[in-house]
Structure 1
C-alpha cells in the first residue's frame, strides 16, 4: 500500500466525487460579465494556455470582460474549492482537468467535497495529449532507454515531476515501478512550468504533463520527449513514439480532458448560456489552430456528455487504482 509521496511544493489534498450531472434547460439567457475562469495551476501551463485561448475567443464572440485567474496549489484543489464556494451566478467557473473528477475520488482517503452535490458540468472543451519528458542533455532517448539507464545507475535520482498527484501519469509510473521493479518517486509541483524547469536542469529526472505545457521548452531545446500517451502518435510530434509502442501499455489510456464546471446552485439559464458560449467558441478555426499548435485538441461536448465521460473514465481507472494500491491523505 502506498501512502506517502515526496512533495516539492504542495501535497495534493482530498477531493471527491464524480458524476457532475447537468440539468440545464434551454434558455434565452445571455452571458453577463465580467466572467472569471479560474485555473488551479501556475501561469504558462496547459490549463492556463487553454483558459486564456478560450477567454480571448469568448471576448471576440461578444462575451465582454473575461478574467483568467490563477489559484495554484494542492494539485488543483485550491482553485476548485474557490469556485465551489463562489456565488452561483454563472460568473465564476473552473477549468477542470479530468483527473480531479475521475481519479482523485479513488485515490484520496478523505475527500473534501462531493462534486455531484457541489458542482455542475457546463461543457467539455479539449482533449489533453500527455507525455513524459526529460532534460535535453540527459543520456537516454525514449522511455525504454530511461528504464535501462535507471537500472544500470542505481545511485541515480529517479523521480517523476508532476503538477497533479493522482494524475494518469502518476498512476502509470506506479504501474511501471511494479512491472519493472523500480522506485521512481513522484514529486508534486504547483504547476507544470516550475516542474518542467526542474526537469530541464536535472533536479528531477523525468516529468509528466500535457504536451501543451512542454512545447515552449521543447522548442527551445531544453527538454526532449521520451514518449507520448494514447494509442497513436501526435500529428504535432510524429517523430515521438507512444509509450505503449515502447512497451509501456500502462499509458495507452493515460489521456484526459479539460472541461468547465460551476457551483452546483448556478441557475439553469446561466449554465445554458455558458454552455452555448463555450461550444460556439470551440468551433472557431483560429482557436482550434491555436490550441493544436500547442498540443491541445479541441473536443467540444455538452455538459451532459462531459458527465457521462467522467463516469466512464472513473470506472476504467478504478481497477488500476486498486491494483497499484495508491492512497493519499
Structure 2
C-alpha cells in the first residue's frame, strides 16, 4: 500500500505556544464527537472529561456518538465541521493511524486534515490467553502454536485491521509461526469467547480484562508500553521480551477542525490539560484501563506521526488492506 505521510503542519500550534493573550469567545454548546457507541470505554472517557469541562469552560459540553466503521464515520464527517469551537473530535490511535493505513476507502489524511489540540488519555494492549491454554509466558504460548497451530494459533482481535491484529502478526513473524487473527465486533464478545474457551488467545486493550485477571479466568502474557503497569505488575512488557517494535501505547486525543482560531485552540488545549489533573478523571478512567494524560497539540501531532512510522512498515509487510 503506497501512502506518503508528511510531517504535521504545526504552524497553528507554534502560534499557540507564543502566548496569545485573552480567552476566545466560545459558543454556548461544545460537542465532543466520539466515533464509538455509548457505553464503550472511549465514550466513558469522553463523558468524564465533558463533565469536568462544563465547569472549567463555563459552557455546555455534550458527547455526540457517531459510531460506525471503527471511527471512520465520525472522522470523515468531522471534516465538514464549523471552525467556531462548537465541535471537537475525540479520536484514538485506531482512527488516526491504523484505519488510514489499512482501509482503502478512508479519504482523510490524519496529518493534514485535523488540528491537534491535546492528548487526554493513554492505554495499553495486552496479549491474553484463556484458562485452558497451558501457557504462563509468551514463550510457552509460542511453543504451543509451533507444535499445535490448528489448536492454539488463533487469536481474537476487537476489530479487523486494528493494532491488536498487527501486534499478533509481529509476534508470529518474529517467531516464524502461523497465527491467525479472528476479528470480533468489539472487545466484549472477544472476552466472552476467551472465558468460554472458544478461542485460545486474544489481543485487546487492557481495560476490559483486569477483573478477569483478578478472578484467575484469564492470564496476561505481555503488554505494550515503556514500562509495566501497576495493575499488572507481574506482566512483562513486549520490549522486555525482545519485541522492540511493540512499545507504542494506545491513546485518545482531541482534534479541532483545521482553520479554528489559534486562540480558541489554545483555550481548549489548556482546559483539557488542566482537567486531566483532576483526581476525578483518574478515579473514573483508571479502572477501565486508561490513564489520564496531558500534552499540547505539538505532542499529539508527534504521537500521530510516531504511530504512522511504527505501524506503517508492519502493516505494509503484512500485505493487509481492506477494500
Q: CA deviation at 1:203?
A: 3.9
Change (3 A) 1:189 1:85: farther
The residue that corresponds to 2:230 in the other structure is: 235
Q: Deviations over 1:149-194 (max 9, x none)?
A: 2333333263333334444332221122223333322233443333
The residue that corresponds to 1:156 in the other structure is: 151
TM-score, normalised with respect to structure 2: 0.82
For 2:134, what is the secondary structure of its paired residue? coil
The residue that corresponds to 2:306 in the other structure is: 312
- The CA distance in 2 between the partners of 1:161 and 1:202, in whole Å, is 12
Unmatched tracts of structure 1, length 5 or more: 2-13
- The CA distance in 1 between the partners of 2:131 and 2:54, in whole Å, is 38
For 1:258, what is the secondary structure of its paired residue? strand
The residue that corresponds to 2:180 in the other structure is: 185
Q: CA deviation at 1:300?
A: 0.6
Q: CA deviation at 1:37?
A: 2.0
- The CA distance in 1 between the partners of 2:7 and 2:252, in whole Å, is 14
Change (3 A) 1:85 1:246: same
1:278-317 superposed matches below 5 A: 278-317=272-311
Find 2:82's aligned residue among 87, 90, 95: 87
The structure with more radius of gyration? 2
TM-score, normalised with respect to structure 1: 0.81
The residue that corresponds to 1:37 in the other structure is: 32
Runs of 4+ in 1 over 6 A off after TM superposition: none
The residue that corresponds to 1:23 in the other structure is: 12
1:132 and 1:228 in contact (8 A); partners too: yes
2:130 and 2:217 in contact (8 A); partners too: yes
For 1:23, what is the secondary structure of its paired residue? helix
- The CA distance in 2 between the partners of 1:113 and 1:284, in whole Å, is 33
Q: CA deviation at 1:44?
A: 4.6
Unmatched tracts of structure 2, length 5 or more: none
- The CA distance in 2 between the partners of 1:107 and 1:304, in whole Å, is 25
